[in-house]
């Protein structure tokens, strides 16, 4: 197993003696966009000196700008089934919580997708509890086919990421065949004893099986995998080390690490007492850990959800976050009606369009791009483009084109004006003249001639 608890604890302990000089050397390396080894990351975990912390934050912002530019990818979750055989102590869907459980029929999936399409979304994360009887892989495959086939007016979902429980190589192959984007699975915690305590029963209790899920996903042909930790279950320093070791393991075995890392932080939900979770990172610690992950794995996308407040999301956008959800509902069927039970309490409750406007007011380019996996830029192919510094030359053009599509189909006047400004300010940033001309031409095709889904 690539997670060795005593090794992690020793590294964290030893790293306490790192001098300012050593920290600055590590940060010099990070500033050259070289990424960091897990040992170097350990040294940064203890930094509290404001000057050094500011340097970490500044580098995190620089890395984000250098690699991804100012585009922020938008997505929304779609909860399809809340049946669950596990009893994860922190989760609203846990088996012991009594409420009227349900899974969407295909007609209901279609209804939810139409609503999401009318919000302008092109990229979804499909979410489900674990229940092999009520929610088998065949059900998830049907859901995915229904989503991809639901095209309402100009709307369509072009990329479905999937966040379902750890499964077999065979099932991952089936997910790959149906055309998923990233397979996302949060480790919850890398600390085995805590893991077993908070997942007391059910298949999720098995730490080894859960922790090796991405190996099976890779063996099943899925080369974009998205990791994450549910921050608050155990010491965040340990968890960051776990993420780093997991990433290094994937790089070593499959030539590519995490495509994305999500940083969910524990929220209040039904049947759970927040006072039982002493490890929830404070806002300052949370900011620190996001920035450290950013500079450690510069080519990995970072995702923040509506679990966090507007203020926290704003802070983190400037230090490395490259994808955010918007207008989210975390109830099964919740986009169409008020339903049963959310998985947890959402903090940022603004609509998708409000978030898009807000992003532009901060000079970001909200992007509905889904080009990479449809162009075969996945796994190590994506990473090599990212590492050559070229990804932003693709991301910005695609971001601008999809933003224009969004404005034309779903924008009000205020939004359209903001988009005009963003396009005007960002077009000159496309350095390749040929690409810039193509984007200009495509934007006219989209806004004046009704063309859709143009991408590089
Ligand atoms: N059932 C799948 C699994 O076992 O991985 C999918 C998980 S669930 C739909 C998505 C994620 O929500 C979980 O992996 C967990 O990290 C997160 N989550 C659950 N309860 C939460 C809470 N109270 N606060 C914040 N995030 C929570």
Digit-coded pLDDT (tens) for 354-393: 999 999 999 999 999 999 888 888 888 888 888 877 777 8
Instruction: Compute, in angstroms, the gap from residue 92 CA to the centroid of ligand 1.
Output: 9
Query: Any idea what DSSP says for residue 128?
Result: E
Read off φ and ψ for residue 64, nearest 5 degrees: -60, -45
Report the nearest atom of ligand 1 relative to the CA of 185: 5
How far is Cα 78 from Cα 126, in angstroms, rounded to an integer? Answer: 5
Q: Are 165 and 217 in contact (CB under 8 A)?
A: no
Among candidate residues 166, 285, 269, 156, the one with its CA nearest the CA of residue 231 = 285
Q: Residue 9 is inside which H or E element, if any? A: helix 5-14
Instruction: Compute, in angstroms, the gap from residue 238 CA to the centroid of ligand 1.
Output: 19
Instruction: Compute, in angstroms, the gap from residue 110 CA to the centroid of ligand 1.
Output: 24
Domain end among 333, 349, 365: 349
186 domain-assigned: yes
364 domain-assigned: no
Domain end among 349, 372, 406: 349
User: Domains in the chain: how many in total?
Assistant: 3
- Do 84 and 53 lie in a common domain? no
- Matching residue, tokens 């143009």: 454
3-class secondary structure, 125: strand
Q: What pLDDT, on the 0 to 100 scale, is given for residue 340? A: 62
For the four alpha carbons of 91, 93, 95 and 97, in that order, the dihedral sign comes to positive
- Do 77 and 61 lie in a common domain? no
For the four alpha carbons of 211, 213, 218 and 219, in that order, the dihedral sign comes to positive
Q: Are 291 and 321 in contact (CB under 8 A)?
A: no
456 domain-assigned: no
- Do 310 and 197 lie in a common domain? yes
Report the nearest atom of ligand 1 relative to the CA of 272: 23
Instruction: Compute, in angstroms, the gap from residue 15 CA to the centroid of ligand 1.
Output: 31
Q: Among 139, 161, 172, 186, say which to mutate for ligand 1: greatest number of ligand atoms within 8 Å of CB.
A: 186
Residue nearest to ligand 1 atom 4, measured at CA: 165
Q: Which residues of the chain have pLDDT under 50?
A: none
- Do 132 and 28 lie in a common domain? no
Report the nearest atom of ligand 1 relative to the CA of 265: 25
92 domain-assigned: yes
3-class secondary structure, 352: helix
428 domain-assigned: yes
- Do 42 and 150 lie in a common domain? no
- Do 433 and 341 lie in a common domain? no
118 domain-assigned: yes
Give the end-to-end CA distance of the chain in Å, rounded to a whole number. Answer: 40
Report the nearest atom of ligand 1 relative to the CA of 204: 4
How far is Cα 152 from Cα 160, in angstroms, rounded to an integer? Answer: 16
Residue 58: burial class (beta carbons within 10 Å; 0-12, 13-18, 19+): middle
Q: Among 343, 346, 348, say which to mutate for ligand 1: greatest number of ligand atoms within 8 Å of CB.
A: 343
- Do 339 and 398 lie in a common domain? no
Instruction: Compute, in angstroms, the gap from residue 268 CA to the centroid of ligand 1.
Output: 12
Query: Which residues contact residue 193 at a Cβ distance below 8 angstroms, ignoring those fewer than 6 apart?
Result: none
Q: Are 163 and 185 in contact (CB under 8 A)?
A: yes
Among candidate residues 143, 228, 133, 251, the one with its CA nearest the CA of residue 182 = 228
375 domain-assigned: no
Instruction: Compute, in angstroms, the gap from residue 90 CA to the centroid of ligand 1.
Output: 8
Q: What pLDDT, on the 0 to 100 scale, is given for residue 414? A: 98
Write the CATH number for 214: 3.20.20.70
Read off φ and ψ for residue 405, nearest 5 degrees: -60, -45
Residue nearest to ligand 1 atom 5, measured at CA: 165
- Do 280 and 257 lie in a common domain? yes
Domain end among 42, 65, 88: 65
- Do 165 and 287 lie in a common domain? yes
Residue nearest to ligand 1 atom 26, measured at CA: 266
Instruction: Compute, in angstroms, the gap from residue 269 CA to the centroid of ligand 1.
Output: 11
Instruction: Compute, in angstroms, the gap from residue 285 CA to the centroid of ligand 1.
Output: 21
- Do 35 and 82 lie in a common domain? no
The two beta strands, 225-228 and 260-262, are parallel
178-196 pLDDT per residue, tens? 999 999 999 999 999 999 9
Instruction: Compute, in angstroms, the gap from residue 91 CA to the centroid of ligand 1.
Output: 6
- Do 24 and 77 lie in a common domain? no
Q: Domain of residue 410: give its range.
A: 390-449
Which residues in 256-393 belong to E strands, given as ranges?
260-262, 301-304, 323-325, 365-367
Supply the angle between the helices 137-149 and 106-118 in degrees, to the nearest 10: 40
Convert 370-388 to b/e letters by CB count within 10 Å (16 or more is b).
bbbbeeebbbeebbebbee
365 domain-assigned: no
Residue 278: burial class (beta carbons within 10 Å; 0-12, 13-18, 19+): exposed
pTM of the model: 0.96
How far is Cα 105 from Cα 127, in angstroms, rounded to an integer? Answer: 15
Instruction: Compute, in angstroms, the gap from residue 87 CA to the centroid of ligand 1.
Output: 11
Q: What pLDDT, on the 0 to 100 scale, is given for residue 346? A: 83
Among candidate residues 319, 309, 403, 291, the one with its CA nearest the CA of residue 349 = 309
Q: Among 79, 85, 91, say which to mutate for ligand 1: greatest number of ligand atoms within 8 Å of CB.
A: 91
Residue nearest to ligand 1 atom 25, measured at CA: 266
- Do 138 and 244 lie in a common domain? yes
Ligand 1 cavity residues, CB under 6 Å: 90-91, 127, 129-130, 163-165, 185-186, 188, 204, 230, 264, 266-267, 269, 307, 343-344
Q: What pLDDT, on the 0 to 100 scale, is given for residue 415? A: 97
Q: Among 79, 201, 230, say which to mutate for ligand 1: greatest number of ligand atoms within 8 Å of CB.
A: 230
Residue nearest to ligand 1 atom 11, measured at CA: 186
């Amino acid at each position: 197993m690539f997670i060795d608890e005593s090794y992690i604890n020793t590294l964290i302990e030893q790293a306490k003696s790192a001098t300012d000089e050593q920290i600055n050397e590590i940060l010099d390396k990070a500033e050259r966009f070289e990424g960091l080894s897990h040992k170097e990351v350990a040294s940064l975990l203890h930094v509290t000196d404001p000057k050094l912390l500011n340097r970490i934050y500044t580098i995190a912002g620089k890395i984000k700008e250098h690699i991804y530019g100012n585009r922020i990818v938008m997505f929304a979750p779609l909860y399809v089934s809340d049946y669950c055989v596990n009893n994860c102590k922190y989760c609203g869907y846990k088996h012991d919580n009594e409420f009227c459980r349900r899974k969407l029929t295909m007609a209901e999936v279609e209804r939810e997708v139409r609503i999401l399409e009318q919000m302008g979304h092109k990229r979804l994360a499909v979410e489900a509890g674990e229940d092999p009887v009520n929610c088998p892989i065949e059900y998830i495959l049907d859901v995915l086919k229904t989503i991809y086939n639901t095209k309402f007016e100009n709307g369509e979902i072009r990329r479905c990421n999937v966040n379902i429980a750890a499964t077999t190589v065979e099932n991952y192959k089936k997910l790959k065949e149906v055309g998923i984007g990233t397979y996302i699975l949060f480790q919850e915690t890398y600390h085995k004893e805590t893991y077993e305590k908070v997942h007391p029963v059910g298949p999720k209790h098995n730490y080894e099986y859960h922790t090796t899920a991405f190996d099976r996903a890779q063996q099943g042909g899925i080369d974009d995998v998205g990791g994450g930790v549910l921050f608050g279950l155990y010491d965040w320093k340990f968890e960051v080390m776990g993420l780093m070791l997991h990433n290094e393991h994937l790089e070593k075995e499959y030539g590519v690490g995490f495509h994305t890392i999500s940083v969910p932080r524990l929220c209040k939900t039904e049947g759970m007492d927040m006072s039982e979770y002493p490890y929830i990172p404070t806002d300052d610690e949370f900011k620190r850990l996001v920035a450290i992950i950013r500079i450690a794995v510069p080519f990995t996308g970072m995702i923040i959800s509506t679990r966090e407040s507007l203020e926290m999301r704003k802070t983190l956008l400037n230090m490395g976050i490259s994808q955010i959800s918007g207008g989210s509902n975390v109830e099964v069927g919740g986009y169409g009606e008020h339903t049963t039970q959310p998985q947890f309490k959402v903090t940022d409750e603004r609509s998708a369009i409000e978030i898009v406007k807000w992003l532009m007011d901060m000079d970001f380019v909200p992007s509905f791009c889904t080009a990479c996996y449809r162009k075969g830029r996945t796994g190590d192919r994506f990473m090599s483009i990212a590492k050559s510094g070229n990804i932003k030359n693709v991301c910005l053009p695609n971001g601008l084109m999809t933003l224009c599509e969004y404005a034309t189909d779903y924008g009000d006047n205020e939004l359209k004006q903001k988009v005009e400004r963003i396009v005007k300010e960002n077009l000159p940033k496309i350095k390749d003249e040929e690409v810039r001309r193509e984007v200009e031409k495509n934007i006219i095709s989209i806004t004046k001639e009704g063309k859709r889904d143009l991408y590089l």
